[in-house]
Amino acid sequence: MNSPARASASRLPLIAQLVFLASAALWLGYFAQVQGLRHASWTGGLVLLAAVATTSLSMVSSLPVQNVITVSALIAFLASVVEIINAKTGVPFGSRTCTEAIGPRLFGVLPWSLPLLWMVVILNSRGVARLILRPWRKTGKYGLWVIGLTAALTALFDFNFEPFAARVGRFWIWSASSALPTWQGAPLTSFTGWLVVTVLILAFTTPWLINKSLSRSSTADFRPLIVWMVLNLLPPAACAVQHLWFAAMVAVSLSSVIIVFAIRGGRW
């Protein structure tokens, strides 16, 4: 690859991230009913696709392209299987009925956005987990801690996302038993399901996330933190626009703690 082409390729991750941030701003403007964006429901899909692009291009800088393609496809496939099972049985997340607001369905069952959402959230949660655990990256159980913390951060995303998904975006309707404790209508068992499923997915996909041909970089990569931060703060911002203040404050508070620890770890 000649120098101009190499320079252009090196700018792609930055361009993708800028597009992602711009699409997030447009999406928030849609929920805030900003003039010109009041009917721009397509911005939600744009945010997700831009997140997929920036996540994939960022990973290519540290992993072979074939690894990125394989791990992304595996996460999307495994998440699709779990989501279809849940749609049919209510296990492992609970009885949840998706509405037309979440978009067209694959196979008449699976909303197209869910596999991509799982992929983006898991991969960026892993990047944030690595930042937080960076001071301990040379310890023997570092890999297991990364998997566990990634699962916890993925479940935290779902916790932050649920008030928006169920009450603002109307993406789905929960049919939780009155005997089960809930958070904004979602059964707490749903978050346990996200945690367990993430651990199982990482058990299959982690080998492709390790680049054995290169030594570990001495420079921390903060790009996953930016994506994770937007994905966790954008839904509560939309909730705040709709006056769901408690849900918004809880999500922002929890996310802020994670952001502080990630920055601290990344600067180690």
Q: Is residue 243 in a domain? A: yes
Tens digits of residue pLDDT in 43-54 = 999 999 999 999
Tens digits of residue pLDDT in 179-205 = 778 999 899 999 999 999 999 999 999
Rounded mean pLDDT, 246-253: 97
CA distance 122 to 126: 6
pLDDT category at 5 given cuts 50, 70, 90 is very low
Rounded mean pLDDT, 71-85: 97
State the total domains in the chain: 1
Give the rounded distance of the alpha carbon of 173 from its chain centre: 21
Structural domain boundaries enclosing 137: 64-266
Q: Is residue 26 in a domain? A: no
Q: Is residue 13 in a domain? A: no
Task: Specify the range with the lowest mean pLDDT, choosing from 6-20, 115-129, 227-241.
Answer: 6-20
Q: Is residue 170 in a domain? A: yes
Q: Is residue 149 in a domain? A: yes
Q: Is residue 47 in a domain? A: no
Q: Is residue 123 in a domain? A: yes
Q: Is residue 17 in a domain? A: no
